[in-house]
Structure 1
Amino acid sequence: MTTPLAVSIVIPAYNEESTIEPCVLAALAQTVPAHEIIVVDNRSTDRTAAIVAELQASHPDAPLIYLPQFDEQGLVPTRNAGLDAATGDVLGRIDADSVLEPNWVEEVQKAFADPEVAAATGPVLYYDMPLRRFGLKADDTLRRAILRLAREYHFVFGSNMALRASAWQAIRGEVCRDEDDLFHEDIDISVHLYDAGLTARYIPTMVAGMSARRIDDSPRDYYSYVGRFDRTYTHHGVRNRRLRAPAWVFLAVYPVAKGLRWGQGEWDARRPQPPGSRR
């Protein structure tokens, strides 16, 4: 009988006191336990560290690790520190506002049972948007369409991705440090996986919840965020226009998502609240 692969979960965090608790609790509440859950704290000045300490105290048997990364500010060095420290066969990487579905680790293990799979990613459910389950189906449909456009090239998305430990070691020295914070670090990983001939798969049952808070950005900031796709590909000399498909999708859905987000906020504001509750 094959021994199940050990799955580590790495969570980079910077001032995430509002989201880190549900993120960690979901990672703990898996049908198959994670090998370890590593919260990598990048110079947080809020209660992020204190909340992780409280969770460690309330779950003393859980493999929950707090790892400070105070040497450099930035997502890439923080992500790298977590992936370098992880000891699992497969290294999951999520955001501090991600909320994993209970079977996430189990689905990751199934995906990586295929030795050809070097990396995997899945759809997301926007938990702070209306029509959440419909939104999950729409997200899955869009990601499948993007992959058809990209053909043999597969993307991995930072809010919901996993790498075989050997794949991370293969690209570790090649991934861009992005000191100026101009790129999409997950697209950078995708490019380096592809260049190394490593297979990334889309796994529709590997579901993570995430916040739609990016939609709250101003149009200028949002379009700058989407522009990271072009900046990342231009840096790598990638000219295939089909690979711009995720950027096209993000631009197309922004007005609709912004309207839904506004409508959800208006509905929440007008909904009667029980006495003593907080919105």
Structure 2
Amino acid sequence: MPGHPDSEPTIHVPAPPSVSIVIPAYNEESVIRQCVTAAIYQSVPAHEIIVVDNLSKDSTAQIVRHLAEEYPESPIRLLTQDREQGLIPTRNHGLDSATGDVLGRIDADSLLEPDWVEEVQRAFTDHAVQAATGPVVYYDMPMRRFGLKADDKVRQLLLKLSSHEYHFLFGSNMAIRRTAWETIRDSTCRDENDEMHEDIDLSLHLAEHGLKVQYWPEMVSGMSARRLEDSPKDYRYYVQRFDRTYKAHNIRKIALKAPMAVVFSVYFPAKLLRAIHSANQPPVKRGGV
């Protein structure tokens, strides 16, 4: 009976946050099916899976439509961002359109681990956490699980080397509270010249507002190592995006130079491993509906 001295008090356990998954896409017909399928097959279903097509000239949008028909029970949403070409406006359109409590952001070549949504929910159990990021496993490299451990160690090292107030998000595997996104979205950089790391830009704006970024090792996503196909010159330009992002925010802390050196140092050994792995793989059929 209510009020009886022996009755136990009712404990209200808050529901875990709902998680949207946002996937910006431009000419991604070779990878978008496996990306969305991995987002569907989760131990805890996503609140919604949003693919934002950005002026693709291939069958990216058609493949997503077919997936929505193939999995009618899955909350797949195909959006179009055709005002301008670029990752940042496409990402922003997806994040602005998402309705979950937490907004996951991955790349079109990402392959989420089956418990990714569940781990994102766990990462945000602490209400102080406003954004989270995790390690990746390179699915087109040899020794994948060893590579995952190595990636985790590198990211842990980057956290230690960086200034303590800057915990960086990784664009291929990140999530942010919708309220945090609403706080920073108007101040994030547009980067019309495509010179910066957009995920680092997000991290810096979160830091400006004192919003906590959490590194969560169990929040794992797969991704392609296709960046290693770049020439050393192009890869160096990619790594130097760190420096250009810092300069755009008037940040000149020496400690923040360390991540650039670490990321560039892994290029040559990883490129050699990828070349050996690729030489031993059978041809892969690309694309398809």
Q: TM-score range by the shorter chain?
A: over 0.9
Please give the alpha-carbon distance, in whole angstroms, between the structure 1 residues aligned to 2:285 and 2:110: 23
1:190 aligns with 2:203: yes
Q: Give the match for residue 179 of structure 1.
A: 192
Give 1 or 2 for the bigger CA radius of gyration.
Answer: 2
Q: Give the match for residue 120 of structure 1.
A: 132
**What is the deviation of 1:268?**
1.7
**CA 1:61 to 1:278, structure 2 compared with 1: closer, same or farther past 3 Å?**
closer
Q: Would the aligned equivalents of 2:188 and 2:205 in 1 still touch at CA under 8 Å?
A: yes
Please give the alpha-carbon distance, in whole angstroms, between the structure 2 residues aligned to 1:10 and 1:17: 17
Deviations 1:179-214 (A, max 9, x none): 111100000001000011000000000000000000
Please give the alpha-carbon distance, in whole angstroms, between the structure 2 residues aligned to 1:215 and 1:162: 25
Deviates more, 1:232-241 or 1:242-251: 242-251
**What is the deviation of 1:278?**
5.7
Please give the alpha-carbon distance, in whole angstroms, between the structure 2 residues aligned to 1:9 and 1:278: 27
Q: Give the match for residue 5 of structure 2.
A: none
1:43 aligns with 2:59: no
Please give the alpha-carbon distance, in whole angstroms, between the structure 2 residues aligned to 1:164 and 1:154: 16
Deviations 1:136-180 (A, max 9, x none): 000000101111112232000100000000100010111000011
**CA 1:278 to 1:91, structure 2 compared with 1: closer, same or farther past 3 Å?**
closer
Q: Of the candidates 7, 32, 35, which is equivalent to residue 19 of structure 2?
A: 7
**CA 1:247 to 1:66, structure 2 compared with 1: closer, same or farther past 3 Å?**
same
Percent identity for Structure 1 against Structure 2: 61
Q: Would the aligned equivalents of 2:161 and 2:259 in 1 still touch at CA under 8 Å?
A: no
Q: Of the candidates 58, 63, 66, which is equivalent to residue 70 of structure 2?
A: 58
Normalized against structure 2, the TM-score is what?
A: 0.92
Deviations 1:95-154 (A, max 9, x none): 000000000000000111110000000000000000100000000001011111122320
Q: Give the match for residue 154 of structure 1.
A: 167
The unaligned stretches of length 5 or more in structure 1 are none
Report runs of 4+ in structure 1 exceeding 3 Å deviation: none
Any idea what SS the aligned residue of 2:20 has? Answer: strand
Any idea what SS the aligned residue of 1:91 has? Answer: strand
Q: Of the candidates 137, 151, 161, which is equivalent to residue 139 of structure 1?
A: 151
Any idea what SS the aligned residue of 2:154 has? Answer: helix
**What is the deviation of 1:24?**
0.2
Please give the alpha-carbon distance, in whole angstroms, between the structure 2 residues aligned to 1:278 and 1:2: 46
Please give the alpha-carbon distance, in whole angstroms, between the structure 1 residues aligned to 2:285 and 2:127: 49
Please give the alpha-carbon distance, in whole angstroms, between the structure 2 residues aligned to 1:73 and 1:268: 34
The unaligned stretches of length 5 or more in structure 2 are 1-12
Q: Give the match for residue 99 of structure 1.
A: 111
**What is the deviation of 1:242?**
1.5
Letter in 2 for 1:211: S
Q: Of the candidates 122, 142, 150, which is equivalent to residue 110 of structure 1?
A: 122
Q: Give the match for residue 239 of structure 1.
A: 252
Letter in 1 for 2:83: D
Letter in 1 for 2:226: R
1:219 aligns with 2:229: no
Deviations 1:23-52 (A, max 9, x none): 000000000000000000000000101100
- Provide the alpha-carbon RMSD of the alignment: 1.3
Q: Give the match for residue 180 of structure 2.
A: 167
Any idea what SS the aligned residue of 2:50 has? Answer: strand
Normalized against structure 1, the TM-score is what?
A: 0.96
Q: Give the match for residue 27 of structure 1.
A: 39
Any idea what SS the aligned residue of 1:268 has? Answer: coil
Any idea what SS the aligned residue of 1:37 has? Answer: strand
Alignment length, in residue pairs? Answer: 273
Q: Would the aligned equivalents of 2:165 and 2:207 in 1 still touch at CA under 8 Å?
A: no
Please give the alpha-carbon distance, in whole angstroms, between the structure 2 residues aligned to 1:86 and 1:232: 26
